[in-house]
Chains A and B, each alone.
Chain A
């Protein structure tokens, strides 16, 4: 077991190395002159040269590479062109809202999607199932920002039940914090929910057709017990996989959701950095988001071994 975890841990290194190389070469080999584009439309030659010096693009490529790699290994992501603050500090300041939003979306989506999926599999080809599947197909097509505005229009503007936008940190009180996250989580979670519900249904259907389920039913066990204890537990591996895959979806969605709801998290930071063409910040954010995604995949892979003792690599 430990050997397996260690081996998986080492397997993440080449992935992160590729990500790091990608952001390094993207800046160096981008078409046109990145320094001129970052400096802006009507920048003077001096301003462009200043940006170039700041990014270290005026030095030889090999030197740039070694400086960059040593900095990165020390956990130094560079300095923002715009605010001159270290990128690591900018990121850590904005971390809390994004983590809160991601976790609450994860919770809302899983808590709603798994029961729905189980229900659909139990009542397969009945109207409940058709409604769930219809919802799943719609969920895949619904852009996050469109759903977000529909939710805001009804729940915040028309019925005034929830705040229109904004974020309340948890230290301001639990209810305002929860309240500020309800609509963003629903908007961000819709596609994710559709994905989990669909996979839960498919995985449950496969398990429910097996002999031991028929045995359990015929010996008179309560339906709920058969569904949840016998079936769902064995249907778990694909569901966990898709929960993991979906976190990637959430990370992309966070950027848009935070913009709609004006949440001061990493997504908002990304958009601000893009609009100001603050490449060091964008680069730092890519590394952080990719790192988070790789870490989630690692956790999912390790969880397989616990869920299904037959799985050993």
Chain B
């Protein structure tokens, strides 16, 4: 046995080296690390927060950052650091769930559109119409008609994001459909379902993953924007958009109530985008060359 194994020995597998991976793809590494820190922050928020994020203490209103209040306090005397830490939860939940839901819907619709001509003409007209409505307005319209809550915010952001995914998936399906191997599978009598799942679906995954990271980033920005406008998650929830919105009145004397959650939001979106750019370079070289 040992001899056979030695004879067949492959060249020694190169040991996985963290350093090499980072050198080869520094943006993915940076994005990943930033995001990991954020996830830890969101999951262990109760342990990391130094104060109760909801506790109102008028005596301590608008204190500048100090040892006791790392990021200062807002006009109700609430600790901005603790609120920012909890805010990571809202951003991550919205970003991840919007990315997941719109990817699944977009994938299903995109496959159907690219493969079945009759579905295509109807669904794509609807998608074109939805794309014509600026996303934040579409979300606002939905929210005007519903009771405030995290769920409706997620639904309101998913709807305008779906057409973007449908278009990406559909374009891939159309190009794959014309490949000789797909034509020969059709000629060989492969059923639609098997053709879609075995031959076409795997090709759409790389662009889909890349696109969904961008959707995640854009969902986080939209949620913060909606909350900032007062049309997002209920005002008592400490989301970054809400913290910033509530800091507006006292911005000139207490800029930290806006700058700090703002920086967290920007860095988070940056991290997701970096991850997306890195994934795109690795998974989808065709797209990478175009940009």
Q: Could you list which residues of chain A lie within 8 angstroms of chain B, going by C-beta atoms?
A: 14-19, 21-23, 26-27, 30-32, 34, 37-38, 137-138, 140-146, 149-150, 152-153, 157, 164, 198, 202, 248, 251-252, 255-256, 259-260, 270-271, 273-275, 277-279, 282-283, 285-286, 289-290, 293-294
User: How far, in angstroms, from A175 to B221 measured CA to CA in the complex?
Assistant: 33
Known: A32-B147, A146-B244, A277-B144. A18 touches B269 (CB 8 A): no
CB-based contact B229/A256 at 8 Å: yes
- A140's nearest neighbour on chain B, judged by CB, is B273
Known: A22-B130, A37-B147, A285-B137. A142 touches B229 (CB 8 A): no
- A145's nearest neighbour on chain B, judged by CB, is B228
Q: Is B62 an interface position by the 8 A CB rule?
A: no
Main secondary structure of the interface of A (DSSP, over half): helix
Q: Mark B212-246, 1 if CB is under 8 A from A, else 0.
A: 00000100010011001111000000000000100
Q: Is B265 an interface position by the 8 A CB rule?
A: yes
- A259's nearest neighbour on chain B, judged by CB, is B229
Q: Is B39 an interface position by the 8 A CB rule?
A: no
CB-based contact B132/A290 at 8 Å: yes
Q: Is B134 an interface position by the 8 A CB rule?
A: yes
Known: A37-B146, A282-B144. A18 touches B130 (CB 8 A): yes
- A249's nearest neighbour on chain B, judged by CB, is B134
CB-based contact B146/A289 at 8 Å: no
Name 18 extra pairs, CB < 8 A, besides A18-B129, A34-B145, A285-B137.
Answer: A22-B130, A26-B141, A137-B273, A137-B274, A138-B266, A141-B270, A141-B273, A142-B266, A143-B224, A143-B266, A145-B228, A149-B251, A256-B136, A259-B229, A274-B143, A274-B144, A283-B141, A286-B141
- Choose among A18, A153, A274 the residue that contacts B125 (Cβ–Cβ < 8 A): A18
Known: A143-B224, A270-B140. A19 touches B132 (CB 8 A): yes
- B261's nearest neighbour on chain A, judged by CB, is A146
CB-based contact B128/A15 at 8 Å: yes
CB-based contact B146/A32 at 8 Å: yes
User: How far, in angstroms, from A260 to B229 measured CA to CA in the complex?
Assistant: 9
Most buried by B among A141, A152, A198, A259: A141
Known: A270-B140, A283-B141, A290-B134. A144 touches B270 (CB 8 A): no
User: How far, in angstroms, from A283 to B256 measured CA to CA in the complex?
Assistant: 37
Chain B residue contacts of A145, Cβ below 8 A? 224-225, 228, 244, 262
- A288's nearest neighbour on chain B, judged by CB, is B137
Most buried by A among B145, B259, B273, B274: B145
Chain B residue contacts of A289, Cβ below 8 A? 133-134, 137
Q: Is B60 an interface position by the 8 A CB rule?
A: no
- A149's nearest neighbour on chain B, judged by CB, is B258
User: How far, in angstroms, from A26 to B159 measured CA to CA in the complex?
Assistant: 12
CB-based contact B270/A137 at 8 Å: yes
Q: Could you list which residues of chain B lie within 8 angstroms of chain A, going by C-beta atoms?
A: 125-126, 128-130, 132-138, 140-147, 217, 221, 224-225, 228-231, 244, 248, 251-252, 255, 258-259, 262-263, 265-267, 269-270, 273-274, 277, 290-291
Known: A146-B266, A252-B136, A252-B137. A274 touches B229 (CB 8 A): yes
Residue pairs across A and B with Cβ atoms less than 8 A apart, 25 shown, are: A14-B129, A19-B132, A22-B133, A26-B145, A31-B146, A37-B146, A37-B147, A137-B270, A137-B274, A140-B217, A143-B224, A143-B262, A150-B262, A251-B137, A255-B225, A256-B136, A256-B229, A274-B229, A274-B231, A282-B137, A286-B138, A289-B137, A290-B133, A290-B134, A293-B134
CB-based contact A141/B266 at 8 Å: yes
Chain A residue contacts of B133, Cβ below 8 A? 19, 22, 286, 289-290, 293
CB-based contact A255/B137 at 8 Å: yes
Closest CB in chain B relative to A237 CB, distance in Å: 13
Most buried by A among B133, B142, B144, B263: B144
Known: A30-B145, A149-B255, A271-B229. A143 touches B132 (CB 8 A): no
CB-based contact A146/B132 at 8 Å: no
- Choose among B141, B142, B146, B217 the residue that contacts A141 (Cβ–Cβ < 8 A): B217
Closest CB in chain A relative to B123 CB, distance in Å: 11
- B251's nearest neighbour on chain A, judged by CB, is A149
User: How far, in angstroms, from A152 to B255 measured CA to CA in the complex?
Assistant: 11
CB-based contact B145/A18 at 8 Å: no
Closest CB in chain A relative to B88 CB, distance in Å: 15
- Choose among B135, B269, B273, B274 the residue that contacts A252 (Cβ–Cβ < 8 A): B135
Chain B residue contacts of A143, Cβ below 8 A? 221, 224-225, 262, 265-266, 269
User: How far, in angstroms, from A251 to B133 measured CA to CA in the complex?
Assistant: 10
User: How far, in angstroms, from A132 to B5 measured CA to CA in the complex?
Assistant: 54
User: How far, in angstroms, from A141 to B262 measured CA to CA in the complex?
Assistant: 11
- B125's nearest neighbour on chain A, judged by CB, is A14
